[in-house]
Amino acid sequence: MPEPTPVGLIGVGLLGQALTRCLRAAGFEVVGFDVDAAKSAKLAELGGRPAGSVADLVRRCDPIVLAVFSTDQVEAVVEGQLLPALGEGSGKVVLCASTCDPDRIAALGWRVAPRGLRLLETPVSGASGQVSRGEGVGLIGGDPQVVSAVEPVLRAMFPTYFHIGKVGDGGRAKLAVNLILGLNRLAMAEGLIFAERLGLDPSAFLEVARRSAAYSQVMDVKGAKMTRGEFTPEGRVAQHLKDVHLMLEQAERAKQRLPLLEIHADVLEACVRQGEGDLDNSAVIKEIRRRTRA
């Protein structure tokens, strides 16, 4: 009996590492590539096999998971590297786990389909630690038949997932979810600093808030990071700012004003100016603390 085809992974950052843990735990072989040699070394530590090039990876693997940073990078990898390496009519499946501009990803799906590449959106709701523990929720956009064809891989990455609709709809759902999640983080940061300024112990107050009507899951995931000032990244400030810019662009196209999100963008941009872009996104509490009245 031939060995199962490995799952390919392009991009071995926080999300790529989390997905590798899930896939390896489910028994899948993972062959990965990253331009950063240190990240390739991390892949090997996690039980994956680094590939020498994207071309080497795509010939051996199916499906191929993209966990790169931006829409630009997704387009460059798919059209600039995958298609030239595979040629026409490969029938390979690409799972785009990156958070992207949904309109551009939908257009990319239309462009590559006639050339034999089957694209699914597979962004995930959850910080990298949650994804590693099997707590991420997949938001899938694309052809239901392709979803069925790769269901074992999807179930390994996301024990819970929702097929939202066509390519583009997964990203739209992800942006809407991230909008709510980011504002929850910001509200918690503001509430903790408010309690602190009123003379309350923020750690003790966090326990009260967890059991109050104000509870949200973000208190469990990010609360201790904020109260301890420990910002090892599970989702970076700069990455969430990229997502917020996507949300504002989509809102502009839909002719909707998002006033709370505009404030959030201002806070995130201030964090980046302070050199905090690579910190965990819970570091918004640092900027809330800096915002004092004269």
> Domain containing 149 — which CATH number?
3.40.50.720
Are 203 and 159 found together in one domain? no
Tokens of 230: 């420990």
**Pure H helices in the chain:** 14-25, 37-45, 54-60, 71-77, 83-86, 102-112, 128-132, 144-149, 151-157, 169-197, 202-210, 218-228, 237-253, 259-273, 284-290
Are 245 and 132 found together in one domain? no
Q: Give pLDDT, residue 113.
A: 96
Average pLDDT, the chain: 95
- 2 pLDDT above the threshold of 70: no
Are 195 and 90 found together in one domain? no
What residues make up the domain containing 222? Answer: 173-290
Looking at the 3D structure of the chain, how many domains does it have? 2
The number of beta carbons lying within 10 Å of the beta carbon of residue 220 is 12
Q: Give pLDDT, residue 101.
A: 96
Q: Give pLDDT, residue 67.
A: 96
CB 243 within 8 A of CB 258: no
Q: Give pLDDT, residue 122.
A: 97
Are 73 and 125 found together in one domain? yes
What's the whole-number mean pLDDT along residues 58-81? Answer: 94
Are 35 and 149 found together in one domain? yes
Of 144, 167, 190, the residue that ends a domain is 167
Q: What percentage of the chain reaches a pLDDT higher than 90?
A: 92
Of 132, 167, 202, the residue that ends a domain is 167
Are 150 and 195 found together in one domain? no
Q: Is residue 142 part of a domain?
A: yes
Are 200 and 146 found together in one domain? no
- 139 pLDDT above the threshold of 80: yes
Please name which of 54, 57, 56 lies closest in space to residue 30, comparing C-alpha atoms. Answer: 57
Are 181 and 76 found together in one domain? no
Q: Does the predicted TM-score (pTM) go above 0.85?
A: yes
Are 156 and 214 found together in one domain? no
Q: Is residue 1 part of a domain?
A: no
Are 78 and 105 found together in one domain? yes
Query: Quick one: how many helices (H) and strands (E) in the chain?
Result: 15, 9
CA distance linking residue 270 with residue 218, whole number of Å: 22
Are 229 and 147 found together in one domain? no
- 1 pLDDT above the threshold of 50: no
Q: Is residue 14 part of a domain?
A: yes
What's the whole-number mean pLDDT along residues 196-205? Answer: 98
